Structure 1
């Protein structure tokens, strides 16, 4: 159970992880001329990136970073929750996250909006166990120490697996660890299982760990792009975000058709080995779709599950944290 006081303390801790020191333009009129026209050359978007998405590398390798009419500044994060804490603080304008981070941010009344969605695939989400583990079925997780990043997409995947197998969080010993620490804990036997996402799933598989269960039947595998309300309220930065979302969409489509090229070139940029990157991209979906009623309903179910499990304080109305202005990308 997470109390309101602990929830607030965790938010402060997440803020301390923020690597971006500078804000995303204190001027609400950045890039907006006196006559109301916009000048994208005066806009700088601050983007939160993480290893699981590698947005900076994705734009570079696909060539979608060519001819940008605005500037991009990048900050790297360990997972989605600290990206959204930085977004709320104003040091990040846009970031890519899984399904759970927006719920935790919404519960903390953060100044964020979900602005885009894509299906990232089921197999890249998994609960892993060591090769000689006696855990053969999700029901065997009872009483076990399970590593998971709090507030991450893996957190919801784990919660869903437990719920659908007659277990609750009180039936396990959750170990809230970031991926690097969780990998070390699994490899040294300090935890019995690890809930995580790609490319960490692929990395663990290459090291010999086994997938107990993936996301199939447990989650709607949507990932989201989340923007700060301050950036969205600015006419110029909002236009830049629209352009960037289109570039990301084209870049991810390119990656699906050039998997080996992506794996080779991105490994030099991200440091993730070629074989790990290739395995991860081979099962990724990258199917962009509108923020439609079905998507919003599914995300509300994520919020309700965390609320019912008392893992967030109170209820969250996810519609209050949705901005559909970019849905018109799919009308043409």
Structure 2
């Protein structure tokens, strides 16, 4: 009989599935939460920004980058990237940040989106996890094993790429498509042998009886994107506000790297993550991000993701990712291949 692993189930993990699904591909509803920043109703320009819990608004506020705005920001909070991009397509949101995979699926759906900003960070938080006492020691040993992953997520691509590197195909394993809350329960009960997931889930599960079989380091691109509505960019005043907003995000990301403990405290409070888990995730992945250009290398890397999902028939037809890119805000930013920051060997 196959051994059933039993791991402690942290109570705080389940709610995270509702608020920290930036990379997830499953459908989810807008939380309906809104807030505002800026000079008030007298401002001539209002930038409608899509966000996720503990995301850009929290980061900008913690870094002091929501001060001295000459435009108004209306924030709308979403549970994950896909519904945020649906709002961009519907012109309900002017701009918002997502992971590397939701733009591919939005492009496949012929959504009206423009990818115009990027960050590059460590992919150590993208991981295939197994219980600590699992006999599995390498991805090649996953043949025939059951693996949980969220469909269309960055972890989904990382799983496929890791299998390919090990000489396996998706048909060589049993892929179980589960969103994080259900995947955690399956992992905890031993119903799956491994779980492909991202930070902060990776950091939390590592503290509750798991280990990394393999990570996305050197396998996935580690990119995240700012995506805007073309209609907003066609408005001169809004386009100017977008340019300012992107620069504020860049400065805030620089602040996070220099103040990891302070940001981990804010992130912990905003999301309900234990501070230790938030700090682990900051050091492992979220604090390592560098603002980069949406250049040819980034486009080629995203095209590879699109082609992979097309081959697996998870998206319809051929996606030409460069058709959804607007490079006007690249400024003098470093190339997308710029190495991620590092907090040292233990990060």
TM-score, normalization by structure 1? 0.83
Is the 2:49–2:96 contact (alpha carbons within 8 Å) kept by the matching residues of 1?
yes
The worse-fitting range, judged by mean Cα deviation, of 247-256 and 235-244 is 235-244
Secondary structure (helix, strand or coil) at the match of 1:255 reads: helix
Quote the residue 1:311 is aligned against.
314
Q: Shift of the alpha carbon at 1:244?
A: 1.1
Q: Distance in 2 between the 1:68 and 1:304 partners? A: 41
116-125 vs 131-140, greater mean Cα deviation: 131-140
Question: For the residues of structure 2 that align with 1:202 and 1:40, how far apart are their CA atoms?
Answer: 44
Q: What's the offset of the Cα at 1:54?
A: 1.9
Deviation at 1:278, TM superposition (A): 0.8
Residue of structure 2 in register with 1:122 after alignment: 123
Which deviates the most, 259-268 or 80-89?
80-89
**Alignment partner, residue 286 of structure 1:** 289
Decide whether aligned partners of structure 1 residues 112 and 130 sit closer, same or farther in structure 2, where only a CA change above 3 A counts.
same
- Conservation of the 8 A alpha-carbon contact between 2:95 and 2:227: yes
1:208 is displaced (CA, Å) by 2.1
Instruction: Select which of 307, 330, 333 maps to 1:330.
Output: 333
Distance 1:172 1:43 in 2: 52
Q: Give, in angstroms, the shift of residue 98 of structure 1.
A: 1.8
Are residues 1:213 and 2:225 paired?
no
Gaps of 5+ in 1: 1-12, 23-38
Aligned twin of 2:99: 98
Greater Cα offset, 321-330 or 130-139: 130-139
CA distance in 2, matches of 1:299, 1:195: 19
1:301 is aligned to 2:313: no
Cα separation, partners in 2 of 1:171 and 1:92, compared to 1, 3 Å? farther
Task: Describe how 1:27-38 pairs up with structure 2 within 5 A.
Answer: none
Kindly indicate whether the alpha-carbon contact (under 8 Å) linking 1:81 and 1:151 is maintained by their aligned counterparts in 2. no
Question: Which structure has the highest helix share of the two?
Answer: 1
Q: Is the 8 A contact 1:146 1:193 kept in 2?
A: yes
Deviation at 1:151, TM superposition (A): 1.8
Preserved contact between residue 137 and residue 213 of structure 2 (Cα < 8 Å): yes
Alpha carbons of 1:89 and 1:216: their partners in 2 closer, same or farther (altered >3 Å)? same
Output one character per residue of 1:217-251: Cα deviation in whole Å (capped at 9) or x when no partner. 21121111111222222222222221111111100
Distance of 2:187 and 2:51 partners within structure 1: 25
Aligned to 1:251: 252
8 Å CA contact 2:65–2:248 kept in 1: the answer is: yes
Shift of 1:261: 1.2
- For this pair of structures, how many residues does the alignment match? 301
Contact 2:119 2:292 in 1 (8 A): yes
Contact 2:33–2:76 (8 Å) recurs in 1: no
> Could you tell me which residue of structure 1 aligns to residue 188 of structure 2?
187
* 2:31 corresponds to: 19
Q: Determine the C-alpha separation between the residues in 2 that align with 1:96 and 1:233.
A: 19
CA gap of 1:177–1:45, structure 2 versus 1, over 3 A, is farther
The answer as to 2:52 corresponding to 1:50 is yes
Q: 1:310 to 1:18 in 2, by over 3 A?
A: same
Residues 252-273 of structure 1, C-alpha deviations (whole Å, 9 max, x = no match): 1001001111112332222222
Aligned residues of 1:40 and 1:70 also touching (Cα < 8 A): no
Q: What SS class does the counterpart of residue 330 from structure 2 fall into?
A: helix
Matched, 1:196 2:208: no
Residue of structure 2 equivalent to 1:137: 138
Q: What's 1:226 paired with? A: 227
Deviates more, 1:72-81 or 1:191-200: 72-81
**Is the contact between residue 80 and residue 152 of structure 1 (CA under 8 Å) also seen in structure 2?**
no
Going from structure 1 to structure 2, the CA distance change for 1:168 and 1:86 (only over 3 Å counts) comes to farther
Q: Secondary structure at the match of 1:59?
A: helix
* CA RMSD, 1 decimal: 2.3
The 1:168/1:189 distance shift into structure 2, 3 A limit, reads same
CA pair 328-173 structure 1, distance change in 2 beyond 3 A: same
Instruction: Note the residue ranges of structure 2 that are not aligned, 5 or more in a row.
Output: 1-25, 35-40, 335-347
